[in-house]
Amino acid sequence: MRKIREVLRLHFECDRTHREIAQAIGTSTSTVWQYLHRVKLAGLEWPLPAQLASDDAALEARLYPLPAPRALSRGMPHWPTIHREIGKPGVTLDLLWQEYRAQHPDGYGYSWFCRAYQEWAQRLPVTMRQTHMPGQKLFVDYSGKELGIVNPDTGESREAELFVAALGVSGYTFAELTWTQKLPDWIGSHVRAFAFYNGVVEILVPDNLKSGVLKANFYEPQINDTYQEMARHYSTAIIPARPRKPRDKPEADLSVLLVQRWILARLPNQRFFNLDEANRAVAVLLVDLNNRMRSIIDALPWRRRRSEAMCPRGHLHSDRNDRETGSSKQTGSWPETRRSTRI
């Protein structure tokens, strides 16, 4: 308060400019202007009244009054609910605003409602829904978790890698154990996956494993030459998932998780002495996993509607009979790959 009184004295008694006053008291010209502006708003004159001449608390209360209590805010819309409702067929912002005003008669107007919703929606993370076509993509990756195989001669345990492949639409899964993730095992697992599916997809979507992708790049990844030759032999394309973009390969991550839970989690109680024996156990559990996945997919309402719309009644009946007799364990009930005579 002492500085404010000095500013007032220099301004009214000495008739000094703002710059000269600022230099005299060691502050900025904007601060000097602010002091004088508050005095003007408070309706004070120089010299100050006697009760304010020496009472700092009273002078501060006049220059810096407490803010007036804010009026009760009008009801704010719940934007997550608005965003969820706007995605439903036939729902518009006008309809949602009318419902909002019915709950809050003194609420905000329609223009503010639309503008505030757009500002809120622009802060949401942008994602793109991926639509997969049957037979278009095969997602391939390694599980990351290993299975120990015991050497019968030395008793030492060697860890085997688990290769996982999954089709884009149905999630139909292939899995097998290999000793390494190196190029020969990587290529061999692809060939056996094609044989398992009895066909070849249009696009292979691997993770950025060094055996498949020499140099990961957001736009132009460098594919391993041998891997590229394999794709050329089977007339398919390789489009790796982008680095650090897990949404490019959700089917692979989901299939890896399911394989870990339904296959690897059930194998540690058994002891295997060679890779072929372990792969036979994996194949048995793989059939159970795919049958469970197929029953879940068939139970979805949209799946039933699509099947009834696309297939004649007789075909649906035949497909149901095949599943009841157990023939769905083979690839015949998963028609998602195209035939290839090169397998």
Percent of the chain with pLDDT over 70: 79
Average pLDDT over residues 155-170: 88
For residue 58, pLDDT over 70 is answered with: yes
Q: Nearest 10 degrees: CA dihedral of 83, 84, 85, 90?
A: 90
Domain, as residue range, for 105: 79-121
**In-domain check, residue 131:** no
Q: Which is more confident, 129 or 91?
A: 91
Q: Is 338 helix (H, G, I), strand (E, B) or coil?
A: strand
Percent of the chain with pLDDT over 90: 23
Least confident of 64-73, 91-100, 130-139: 64-73
Q: What is the pLDDT, as a whole number, of residue 252? A: 66
**In-domain check, residue 326:** yes
Q: Which is more confident, 191 or 311?
A: 191
172 and 268 together in one domain: yes
Asked if 118 and 235 count as a contact pair (C-beta separation under 8 A), the reply is no
97 and 176 together in one domain: no
What's the pLDDT band for 119 if we cut at 50, 70, 90?
very high
For residue 76, pLDDT over 70 is answered with: yes
163 and 270 together in one domain: yes
| Neighbouring C-beta atoms of residue 105, cutoff 10 Å | 8
31 and 112 together in one domain: no
Average pLDDT over residues 131-135: 76
For residue 110, pLDDT over 50 is answered with: yes
Q: Is 201 helix (H, G, I), strand (E, B) or coil?
A: coil
Question: What confidence tens digit (pLDDT) does each residue in 206-260 have?
Answer: 988 888 888 877 777 888 899 999 999 999 999 888 766 666 667 767 778 888 8
> What single DSSP character describes residue 274?
S
Q: What is the pLDDT, as a whole number, of residue 335? A: 45
- In Å, the largest CA–CA distance within the chain is 107
Question: What confidence tens digit (pLDDT) does each residue in 39-50 have?
Answer: 888 787 777 777
141 and 286 together in one domain: yes
**In-domain check, residue 127:** no
23 and 90 together in one domain: no
Average pLDDT over residues 186-209: 90
Number of domains in the chain: 3
Question: What confidence tens digit (pLDDT) does each residue in 297-338 have?
Answer: 666 554 544 443 333 333 323 333 333 333 333 333 444 555
At a CB cut-off of 8 Å and minimum separation 6, what does 176 contact?
A: 162, 163, 189, 192, 279, 282, 283
Structure tokens, 295: 């029953």
User: Residue 42 is part of a domain; what is its CATH number?
Assistant: 1.10.10
Q: What is the pLDDT, as a whole number, of residue 323? A: 32
Number of residues in the chain: 343
Mean pLDDT, the chain, rounded, equals: 78
114 and 149 together in one domain: no
Q: What are phi and psi of 320, to 5 degrees?
A: -70, -40
Q: Can you spell out the DSSP letters for 128-177?
A: ----PPTTTEEEEEE-S--EEEE-TTT--EEEEEEEEEEETTT--EEEEE
